[in-house]
Amino acid sequence: MASTQLSTDHVLGIKYLNVDDINLIFETAENFKEVINRPIKKVPSLRDVTVANLFFENSTRTRISFELAEKRLSADVVNFSAASSSVKKGETLLDTVNNILSMKVDMVVMRHPAPGAPAFLANHIDANIINAGDGTHEHPTQALLDAFSMREALQSDLAGKKICIFGDILHSRVALSNIYCLQKLGAKVRVCGPPTLIPKYINQLGVEVSYDVRQSLEWCDVANVLRIQLERQDIKYFPSLREYAQYFGINKSLLNSLDSEVVIMHPGPINRGVEITSDVADSDQSIILQQVENGVAIRMAILFLLAAKR
Ligand code: NCD
């Protein structure tokens, strides 16, 4: 029988979810996707629940997506962003969060530059924690919305499907969470990019590695194209953005020269003209905006399922 409860009280990473958890999140998200397309998009499911969104690192779509998900579930929402807080005055993470929790917060959505920060909090405070990205480690809600969007685009589950993640794998939390999630769902996963942006020991995760963009596009059903994370690159990993775009960028003439039509995805924000050209990002092959829409439904599902366990 399909499970009706998550196996965990927190969503810290895809590593800690099992296949039943992932499928339960998808099923719940399908229902919420229907809800957010109604004229009245709001349901009372989280009426007595208070959620704090703690963002210690920049974010646009993830923060807005969580906030919308919370509001559509009728939660009370407080927002915190490190740039305008007492963190700048030297307060520790635990002190900041304990102060917020004294105000009776039930759930915390946290983005933090330090890998493991959400797991640290989960060990110290009595609230459900959702990781909205911890440094270069994991970004579980992005991987779930990506896999959900792939299933929708392919109109099938992902067992045996071929997914290639392109670009800056080394600095990407989206890459690691995607690899865990897609493998748990039975997909074949490959990474493709310049050798300097592929972690040395990535084969230990059971993924294929390729440095050939055209051959990888020929191979895959879905291309998940990642942003070049310049803000995390303290040394030069490739000579110039122009050269990157020429050898590793995905453009329309390359796609048109392939035998089959690949689904194109990108978590955003896009460096237009670097990892992907505008005519690809805005084409019918691209499901980038569907990913954003699905993000709200996936986050509603996670908030709802965690609240159901309280
Ligand atoms: C990603 C992130 O922040 O990890 N973006 C996102 O959440 N939509 C990827 C990125 O910043 O490139």
User: For residue range 95-119, what is the model confidence (pLDDT) as tens digits?
Assistant: 887 887 888 899 999 999 999 999 9
Q: Is the pTM of this model over 0.85?
A: yes
Domains and CATH numbers, the chain: 14-138+292-307 (3.40.50.1370), 140-289 (3.40.50.1370)
Catalytic residue chosen out of the listed positions 111, 112, 161, 184: 111
Mean model confidence pLDDT for the chain? 94
Q: 163 CA distance to ligand 1 centroid (A)?
A: 19
Q: Judge whether residue 12 has pLDDT over 90.
A: yes
Ligand 1 contact via 266 beta carbon (within 6 Å): no
Which residue in this structure is represented by tokens 């919370």? 70
User: Under a CB-based contact definition with an 8 Å cutoff, are residues 211 and 230 in contact?
Assistant: no
- The pLDDT confidence band at residue 1, using thresholds 50, 70 and 90, is low
Instruction: Specify whether 89 is catalytic.
Output: yes
Nearest to 263 by CA among 286, 281, 283, 282: 286
CB neighbours of 308 closer than 8 A, spacing ≥ 6?
5
SS3 28: helix
Ligand 1 contact via 267 beta carbon (within 6 Å): yes
Instruction: Specify whether 8 is catalytic.
Output: no
